[in-house]
């Protein structure tokens, strides 16, 4: 991938990040992510399909509820919205190509500022789609997914597709239509729905059943429109239990799967799982991955991590090798992502204000995933990991256990077996042994 610099270089003094190996002392180099290295039959680039997130890296300015912006972007200066957005896109493609990120993801309003005028917004987005087309063509960077932000504008304070006011819902529809048009025009491989305000603040004023039916109708309408326009990619729902809403309908993987099944959306939709959303739901990320894999619905993931000491979505960059090895075990055994990849839905801290900080953050994340991939593959190929789990269920492989699995035993049959065989011997789950096994391979 060649570095693409626009009118002006925004990340001066930083060249393209290269693989230098685990012994390198260069903080601006990869130690593990070697895009052409083959692991388990595919290159790292093909397995991991890394994407940069427009919103955190080029829009999020470090402001928090207690303080103003600390990331003062050079690309955010011009008066005219479309010209300003082009500068931002120059910065984005400079960063993506310097980082060797094969993909990117955006919300409509990340790309260009929106007004309250639907037609003007469509014009602005179209101008940036034309610009992005050139940037993609000259760099080779591709769009992993597009989405519409249906949560920031004040009109969405009571939800978008689940808003009690149909007029608001219609604006959500207009935005999704334009975002789908943009995604399709840019060859986007998937389209995401994350419903930050699709839920409630209090049940006292909420008809939950009606709102969920509206959400399903809205998703069907979006899917039907995109298919009519020739979109072949996958739609993803991104589960999150709460924040900004008190309760979100897409609570976790299991909830979303049952929603998709209930409303006949399983043919077109899969899941985009996010690490920090899993922990907010009271699950490990591994749990969410396993639920999705078991349903054949692991589409994509948003990479980040939470903070052990607080309970909100801190979106920090991933760096926990143990957690990612356990995750990669599930992803590899599950056959990888169905259409998606690993999107860095993560932000550098408010007080990380050097130009290089965004690079360090992504290098750390990409290296940790690459290392986790290698370790997980070694565990699967060379250790007893799989055998230990398979052996635990050996009693169902033949005899009465097998007959039970095949649905051939009654409750009376179970009783008869228990009487005949007396008290079972205790069999260890070997948890500590398995935890050590992961560490041996790291």
Applying CB under 5 A, the residues found at the interface with Co ion are 274, 302, 345
**Interface pattern 76-115 for ligand XUL (x via CB under 6 A):** -------------------------------x--------
Give phi and psi for 289, each to the nearest 5: -60, -45
Q: Judged by CB, which is closer to ligand XUL: 44, or 273?
A: 273
Cα–chain center distance at 117: 30
Please work out the total of residues on this chain that contact ligand XUL, with binding judged by CB under 6 A.
10
Annotated binding site for Mg(2+): 238, 274, 277, 302, 313, 315, 345
The tokens describing 87, both together, are: 């500068």
Q: How far is the CB of 229 from ligand XUL (least distance, A)?
A: 21
Q: Judged by CB, which is closer to Co ion: 108, or 345?
A: 345
| Distance of alpha carbon 162 from alpha carbon 214, whole angstroms | 6
Q: Residue with CB nearest ligand XUL? A: 194
Residue of 198, 313, 326, 367 interacting with ligand XUL (CB under 6 A):
313
Pair 160, 166: CB distance under 8 Å? no
What angle do the packed helices 253-262 and 285-294 form, to 10 degrees? 30
List, as one string, the DSSP characters of 10-40.
Answer: SSTT----EE--TT---TTEESS--TT-EET
Instruction: Map the footprint of ligand XUL across residues 250-279, applying CB under 6 A.
Output: 274
User: Which of 107, 214, 283, 362 is labelled catalytic?
Assistant: 107
The tokens describing 93, both together, are: 């493609």
**Eight-state DSSP code of residue 107:** E
**Interface pattern 346-385 for ligand XUL (x via CB under 6 A):** ----------------------------------------
Q: How far is the CB of 313 from ligand XUL (least distance, A)?
A: 5
Q: Judged by CB, which is closer to Co ion: 323, or 345?
A: 345
β-bridge mates for residue 235, sequence order? 191, 269
| Distance of alpha carbon 122 from alpha carbon 143, whole angstroms | 19
Tokens 């005219």: give the residue. Answer: 80
| Distance of alpha carbon 413 from alpha carbon 153, whole angstroms | 61
Is 345 near ligand XUL (CB under 6 A)? yes
**Interface pattern 26-65 for ligand XUL (x via CB under 6 A):** ----------------------------------------
Q: Judged by CB, which is closer to ligand XUL: 95, or 385?
A: 95
Tokens 């998937």: give the residue. Answer: 190
Give catalytic status of residue 110 as yes or no.
yes
Q: How far is the CB of 148 from ligand XUL (least distance, A)?
A: 8
Q: Does a cis peptide bond (omega within 30 degrees of 0) precede residue 244?
A: yes
The partner in contact with residue 283, picked from Co ion, ligand XUL, none with C-beta cut-offs of 5 to 8 angstroms by kind, is none
The partner in contact with residue 135, picked from ligand XUL, Co ion, none with C-beta cut-offs of 5 to 8 angstroms by kind, is none
Is 181 near ligand XUL (CB under 6 A)? no
| Distance of alpha carbon 83 from alpha carbon 78, whole angstroms | 7
**Eight-state DSSP code of residue 178:** H
Q: How far apart are the first and last CA of the chain?
A: 30
Q: Judged by CB, which is closer to ligand XUL: 300, or 377?
A: 300
Q: Judged by CB, which is closer to ligand XUL: 194, or 249?
A: 194
Q: How far is the CB of 304 from ligand XUL (least distance, A)?
A: 8
Q: How far is the CB of 298 from Co ion (least distance, A)?
A: 15
Q: Judged by CB, which is closer to ligand XUL: 194, or 285?
A: 194
Give the sign of the dihedral formed by CA 432, CA 435, CA 437, CA 440. Answer: negative
Where would I find the H helices in 106-252? Answer: 108-111, 118-139, 166-185, 208-228
Q: What is residue 415's three-state secondary structure?
A: helix
Q: What is residue 345's three-state secondary structure?
A: coil
Q: How far is the CB of 103 from Co ion (least distance, A)?
A: 14
Give catalytic status of residue 220 as yes or no.
no
Residue of 189, 211, 302, 377 interacting with ligand XUL (CB under 6 A):
302
**Interface pattern 188-227 for ligand XUL (x via CB under 6 A):** ----x-x---------------------------------
Q: How far is the CB of 195 from ligand XUL (least distance, A)?
A: 9
User: Which is it for strands 38-39 and 42-43: parallel, antiparallel or unpaired?
Assistant: antiparallel
CA dihedral 160, 165, 168, 170 (to 10 degrees): 90
Q: By the criterion CB under 6 A, which residues form the site for ligand XUL? A: 107, 147, 192, 194, 238, 240, 274, 302, 313, 345
Residues known to be catalytic: 107, 110
């Amino acid at each position: 991938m060649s570095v693409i610099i626009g009118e002006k270089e925004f990340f001066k003094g930083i060249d393209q990040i290269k693989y230098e190996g685990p012994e390198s002392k260069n903080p601006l180099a990869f130690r593990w992510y070697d895009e052409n290295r083959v692991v388990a039959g595919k290159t790292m680039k093909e397995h991991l399909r890394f994407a940069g997130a427009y919103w955190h890296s080029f829009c999020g300015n470090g402001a928090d509820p207690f303080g103003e912006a600390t990331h003062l972007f050079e690309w955010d200066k011009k008066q005219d919205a479309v010209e300003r957005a082009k500068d931002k896109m120059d910065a984005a493609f400079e960063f993506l190509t310097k980082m060797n990120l094969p993909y990117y993801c955006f919300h409509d309003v990340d790309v260009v500022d929106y007004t309250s005028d639907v037609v003007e917004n469509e014009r602005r987005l179209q101008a940036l789609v034309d610009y992005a087309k050139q940037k993609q063509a000259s760099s080779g960077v591709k769009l992993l997914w597009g989405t519409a932000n249906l949560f920031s504008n004040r009109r969405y304070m009571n939800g978008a597709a689940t808003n009690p006011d149909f007029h608001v819902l219609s604006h959500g529809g207009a935005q999704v239509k334009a975002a789908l048009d943009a995604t399709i025009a840019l060859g986007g491989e998937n389209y995401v729905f994350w419903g930050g305000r699709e839920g409630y603040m209090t049940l006292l004023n909420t008809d939950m059943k009606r709102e969920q039916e509206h959400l399903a109708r809205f998703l069907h309408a979006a899917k039907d429109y995109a298919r009519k326009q020739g979109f072949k990619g996958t739609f993803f729902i991104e589960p999150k239990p709460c924040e900004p809403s008190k309760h979100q309908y897409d609570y976790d993987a299991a909830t979303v799967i049952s929603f998709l099944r209930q409303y006949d959306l399983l043919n077109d939709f899969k899941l985009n799982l996010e690490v920090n959303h899993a922990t907010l739901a009271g699950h490990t990320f591994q749990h969410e991955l396993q639920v999705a894999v078991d349903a054949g619905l692991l589409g994509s993931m948003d990479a980040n991590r939470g903070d052990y000491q607080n309970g909100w979505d801190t979106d920090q960059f991933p760096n926990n090798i143990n957690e990612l090895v356990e995750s990669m075990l599930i992803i590899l055994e599950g056959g990888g992502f169905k259409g998606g990849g690993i999107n860095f839905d993560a932000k550098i801290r408010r007080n990380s204000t050097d130009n290089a900080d965004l690079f360090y953050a992504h290098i750390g994340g990409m290296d940790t995933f690459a290392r986790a991939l290698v370790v997980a593959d070694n565990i699967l190929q060379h250790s007893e990991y799989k055998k230990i789990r398979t052996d635990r269920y050996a009693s169902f492989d033949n005899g009465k256990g097998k007959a039970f699995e095949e649905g051939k035993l009654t409750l009376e049959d179970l009783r008869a077996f228990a009487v005949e065989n007396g008290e079972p011997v205790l069999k260890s789950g070997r948890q500590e042994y398995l935890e050590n096994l992961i560490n041996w391979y790291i």
